[in-house]
Amino acid sequence: MTEHLTIVDHPLVQHKLTHMREKTTSTAGFRRLLREISNLLAYEVTRELPVTTREIETPMNTMQAPVLDGKKLVLVSILRAGNGLLDGVLELIPSARVGFVGLYRDEETLQPVQYYFKVPQELEDRLVIAVDPMLATGNSSVAAIDLLKKAGATNIRFMCLLAAPEGVARMKEAHPDVPIVTASLDERLNEDGYIVPGLGDAGDRMFGTK
Protein backbone atom coordinates (compact mmCIF):
# COMPACT_ATOMS: atom_id res chain seq x y z
CA MET A 1 0.00 0.00 0.00
CA THR A 2 1.42 3.41 -0.87
CA GLU A 3 -1.10 5.74 0.80
CA HIS A 4 -0.54 6.41 4.49
CA LEU A 5 -4.29 6.78 5.10
CA THR A 6 -7.06 4.97 3.20
CA ILE A 7 -10.66 5.84 4.04
CA VAL A 8 -13.04 3.11 2.92
CA ASP A 9 -15.97 5.21 1.76
CA HIS A 10 -17.95 2.28 0.37
CA PRO A 11 -21.71 2.91 0.83
CA LEU A 12 -22.22 -0.33 2.77
CA VAL A 13 -19.42 0.56 5.20
CA GLN A 14 -20.76 4.08 5.68
CA HIS A 15 -24.35 2.89 6.18
CA LYS A 16 -23.33 0.33 8.79
CA LEU A 17 -21.07 2.85 10.51
CA THR A 18 -23.96 5.27 10.88
CA HIS A 19 -25.92 2.61 12.77
CA MET A 20 -22.90 1.89 14.96
CA ARG A 21 -22.57 5.55 15.88
CA GLU A 22 -26.21 5.86 16.99
CA LYS A 23 -26.42 5.71 20.76
CA THR A 24 -29.61 3.64 20.67
CA THR A 25 -27.94 0.72 18.86
CA SER A 26 -27.96 -2.39 21.08
CA THR A 27 -24.85 -4.30 22.14
CA ALA A 28 -25.82 -7.20 19.88
CA GLY A 29 -26.43 -4.87 16.96
CA PHE A 30 -23.16 -3.03 17.55
CA ARG A 31 -21.22 -6.29 17.62
CA ARG A 32 -22.85 -7.60 14.46
CA LEU A 33 -22.23 -4.35 12.56
CA LEU A 34 -18.60 -4.27 13.69
CA ARG A 35 -18.11 -7.81 12.43
CA GLU A 36 -19.71 -6.94 9.09
CA ILE A 37 -17.65 -3.75 8.65
CA SER A 38 -14.46 -5.57 9.58
CA ASN A 39 -15.14 -8.04 6.73
CA LEU A 40 -15.29 -5.09 4.35
CA LEU A 41 -12.24 -3.32 5.81
CA ALA A 42 -10.30 -6.59 5.63
CA TYR A 43 -11.08 -6.73 1.91
CA GLU A 44 -9.41 -3.32 1.52
CA VAL A 45 -6.44 -3.90 3.81
CA THR A 46 -5.55 -7.14 1.97
CA ARG A 47 -6.10 -5.73 -1.52
CA GLU A 48 -2.44 -5.91 -2.54
CA LEU A 49 -1.51 -9.27 -1.03
CA PRO A 50 1.00 -11.08 -3.23
CA VAL A 51 -0.40 -13.85 -5.41
CA THR A 52 1.16 -16.63 -7.39
CA THR A 53 -0.44 -19.31 -9.55
CA ARG A 54 -0.98 -23.02 -9.13
CA GLU A 55 -2.11 -25.56 -11.69
CA ILE A 56 -5.60 -26.83 -10.94
CA GLU A 57 -8.09 -29.00 -12.77
CA THR A 58 -11.56 -27.65 -13.33
CA PRO A 59 -14.25 -30.05 -14.59
CA MET A 60 -13.45 -28.66 -18.05
CA ASN A 61 -9.70 -28.23 -18.25
CA THR A 62 -6.48 -27.46 -16.41
CA MET A 63 -5.48 -23.88 -15.72
CA GLN A 64 -2.95 -21.78 -13.86
CA ALA A 65 -5.10 -20.29 -11.12
CA PRO A 66 -4.22 -17.49 -8.66
CA VAL A 67 -3.55 -18.32 -5.01
CA LEU A 68 -2.10 -16.26 -2.18
CA ASP A 69 1.68 -16.32 -2.02
CA GLY A 70 4.03 -16.21 0.96
CA LYS A 71 3.67 -17.09 4.63
CA LYS A 72 0.35 -16.87 6.44
CA LEU A 73 -0.36 -13.33 7.51
CA VAL A 74 -0.72 -12.29 11.12
CA LEU A 75 -3.59 -10.40 12.72
CA VAL A 76 -2.76 -8.63 15.94
CA SER A 77 -5.56 -7.50 18.20
CA ILE A 78 -4.82 -4.54 20.44
CA LEU A 79 -6.77 -5.51 23.55
CA ARG A 80 -9.48 -5.33 24.36
CA ALA A 81 -11.49 -3.57 21.67
CA GLY A 82 -9.34 -5.01 18.88
CA ASN A 83 -11.07 -8.35 19.45
CA GLY A 84 -14.25 -6.90 17.96
CA LEU A 85 -12.49 -6.36 14.63
CA LEU A 86 -10.57 -9.61 14.80
CA ASP A 87 -13.57 -11.91 14.39
CA GLY A 88 -14.71 -10.31 11.16
CA VAL A 89 -11.24 -10.39 9.62
CA LEU A 90 -10.79 -14.04 10.61
CA GLU A 91 -14.03 -14.92 8.83
CA LEU A 92 -12.40 -13.69 5.64
CA ILE A 93 -8.90 -15.03 6.32
CA PRO A 94 -9.48 -18.13 8.50
CA SER A 95 -5.90 -19.38 8.21
CA ALA A 96 -4.34 -16.16 9.53
CA ARG A 97 -2.13 -16.42 12.61
CA VAL A 98 -3.23 -14.30 15.56
CA GLY A 99 -1.37 -12.26 18.14
CA PHE A 100 -2.45 -10.07 21.06
CA VAL A 101 -1.03 -6.91 22.56
CA GLY A 102 -2.38 -5.70 25.91
CA LEU A 103 -1.64 -2.16 27.01
CA TYR A 104 -3.07 -0.04 29.81
CA ARG A 105 -2.63 3.66 30.48
CA ASP A 106 -0.55 4.60 33.50
CA GLU A 107 -2.73 7.07 35.39
CA GLU A 108 0.22 9.25 36.38
CA THR A 109 2.35 9.35 33.24
CA LEU A 110 -0.63 8.72 30.89
CA GLN A 111 1.76 6.54 28.89
CA PRO A 112 0.78 3.05 27.65
CA VAL A 113 2.25 0.17 29.67
CA GLN A 114 2.42 -3.38 28.30
CA TYR A 115 0.68 -6.14 30.31
CA TYR A 116 0.43 -8.83 27.64
CA PHE A 117 2.30 -9.63 24.42
CA LYS A 118 1.98 -12.87 22.49
CA VAL A 119 2.60 -13.06 18.77
CA PRO A 120 3.34 -15.84 16.24
CA GLN A 121 6.90 -16.73 15.21
CA GLU A 122 8.69 -15.45 12.11
CA LEU A 123 7.01 -12.05 12.15
CA GLU A 124 9.73 -10.72 9.87
CA ASP A 125 8.49 -12.86 6.95
CA ARG A 126 4.80 -12.06 7.32
CA LEU A 127 2.36 -9.26 6.67
CA VAL A 128 1.14 -8.11 10.09
CA ILE A 129 -2.24 -6.39 10.35
CA ALA A 130 -2.77 -4.68 13.70
CA VAL A 131 -6.42 -4.02 14.54
CA ASP A 132 -8.01 -1.58 16.98
CA PRO A 133 -11.38 0.06 16.32
CA MET A 134 -10.46 3.54 17.56
CA LEU A 135 -7.34 5.47 16.53
CA ALA A 136 -7.73 8.33 19.03
CA THR A 137 -4.55 9.87 20.53
CA GLY A 138 -2.49 7.21 18.77
CA ASN A 139 -0.52 6.50 21.97
CA SER A 140 -1.50 2.85 22.28
CA SER A 141 -1.30 2.18 18.51
CA VAL A 142 2.18 3.67 18.33
CA ALA A 143 3.26 1.66 21.39
CA ALA A 144 1.76 -1.57 19.98
CA ILE A 145 3.56 -1.07 16.68
CA ASP A 146 6.81 -0.29 18.51
CA LEU A 147 6.45 -3.70 20.20
CA LEU A 148 5.66 -5.48 16.94
CA LYS A 149 8.71 -3.96 15.26
CA LYS A 150 10.86 -4.93 18.24
CA ALA A 151 9.55 -8.50 17.80
CA GLY A 152 10.73 -8.46 14.18
CA ALA A 153 7.77 -7.23 12.11
CA THR A 154 8.79 -5.20 9.07
CA ASN A 155 5.60 -5.16 7.02
CA ILE A 156 2.75 -3.81 9.15
CA ARG A 157 -0.66 -2.34 8.35
CA PHE A 158 -3.08 -0.81 10.81
CA MET A 159 -6.83 -1.27 10.49
CA CYS A 160 -9.36 0.74 12.51
CA LEU A 161 -12.99 1.75 12.36
CA LEU A 162 -12.62 5.43 13.24
CA ALA A 163 -9.58 7.69 13.27
CA ALA A 164 -9.02 11.15 14.73
CA PRO A 165 -6.70 13.55 12.89
CA GLU A 166 -4.51 13.69 16.02
CA GLY A 167 -4.02 9.90 16.01
CA VAL A 168 -3.30 9.79 12.29
CA ALA A 169 -0.67 12.54 12.67
CA ARG A 170 0.93 10.75 15.62
CA MET A 171 1.10 7.48 13.69
CA LYS A 172 2.49 9.20 10.62
CA GLU A 173 5.22 10.79 12.71
CA ALA A 174 6.17 7.60 14.60
CA HIS A 175 5.48 4.97 11.93
CA PRO A 176 5.32 6.54 8.45
CA ASP A 177 5.85 3.05 6.97
CA VAL A 178 2.58 1.71 8.43
CA PRO A 179 -0.45 2.34 6.20
CA ILE A 180 -3.75 2.97 8.00
CA VAL A 181 -7.11 1.72 6.71
CA THR A 182 -10.21 3.20 8.36
CA ALA A 183 -13.91 3.65 7.72
CA SER A 184 -13.86 7.32 8.74
CA LEU A 185 -11.61 10.22 9.62
CA ASP A 186 -13.64 12.06 12.25
CA GLU A 187 -13.39 15.72 13.32
CA ARG A 188 -11.26 15.73 16.45
CA LEU A 189 -10.59 14.44 19.95
CA ASN A 190 -12.36 15.96 22.94
CA GLU A 191 -10.59 16.88 26.19
CA ASP A 192 -11.07 13.31 27.51
CA GLY A 193 -9.44 11.76 24.46
CA TYR A 194 -12.70 10.56 22.89
CA ILE A 195 -13.27 10.82 19.16
CA VAL A 196 -15.95 13.36 18.12
CA PRO A 197 -18.52 12.72 16.73
CA GLY A 198 -17.25 9.14 17.19
CA LEU A 199 -19.37 6.41 18.72
CA GLY A 200 -18.41 6.51 22.41
CA ASP A 201 -16.32 3.84 24.08
CA ALA A 202 -16.01 1.04 21.53
CA GLY A 203 -15.04 -1.60 24.12
CA ASP A 204 -17.97 -0.76 26.38
CA ARG A 205 -20.39 -0.74 23.47
CA MET A 206 -19.26 -4.10 22.07
CA PHE A 207 -18.99 -5.89 25.40
CA GLY A 208 -21.91 -4.22 27.20
CA THR A 209 -19.71 -2.86 30.01
CA LYS A 210 -19.79 0.63 31.46
Task: Pick out the residues of the known binding site.
Answer: 80, 105, 132-140, 195, 200-202
CA distance linking residue 72 with residue 125, whole number of Å: 9
Nearest to residue 205, comparing CAs of 47, 19, 57, 38? 19
Contact pick of 134, 148, 153, 171 for ligand URA (by CB under 6 A) = 134
Binding part of the chain for ligand URA, among 7-15, 49-57, 150-158, 201-209 by CB under 6 A, reads 201-209
* Active-site position among 18, 53, 204, 209: 204
Which of 16, 205 has the CB closer to ligand URA? Answer: 205
CB of 190 to ligand URA, least distance (A): 8
* Active-site position among 9, 24, 109, 192: 109
Contact pick of 136, 159, 160, 206 for ligand URA (by CB under 6 A) = 136
Give the Å distances, CA to CA, from 49 to 38, 44, 77, 127.
17, 10, 20, 9
* Rg value, the chain, Cα: 18
CA distance linking residue 134 with residue 205, whole number of Å: 12
Q: How far is CA 63 from the centre of its chain?
A: 35
Contact pick of 34, 76, 202, 206 for ligand URA (by CB under 6 A) = 202
68-107 binders of ligand URA (CB under 6 A)? 81
The DSSP 8-state label assigned to residue 132 in this structure reads -
Which of 157, 205 has the CB closer to ligand URA? Answer: 205
- CB-based contacts of 102: which residues, under 8 Å, 6+ apart? 79, 80, 114, 115, 116, 117
Task: Report how many residues bind ligand URA under the rule CB under 6 A.
Answer: 9
**201 given a catalytic annotation:** yes
| Residues recognised as catalytic | 105, 109, 201, 204
Binding site for ligand URA (CB under 6 A): 81, 134, 136, 194-195, 198, 201-203
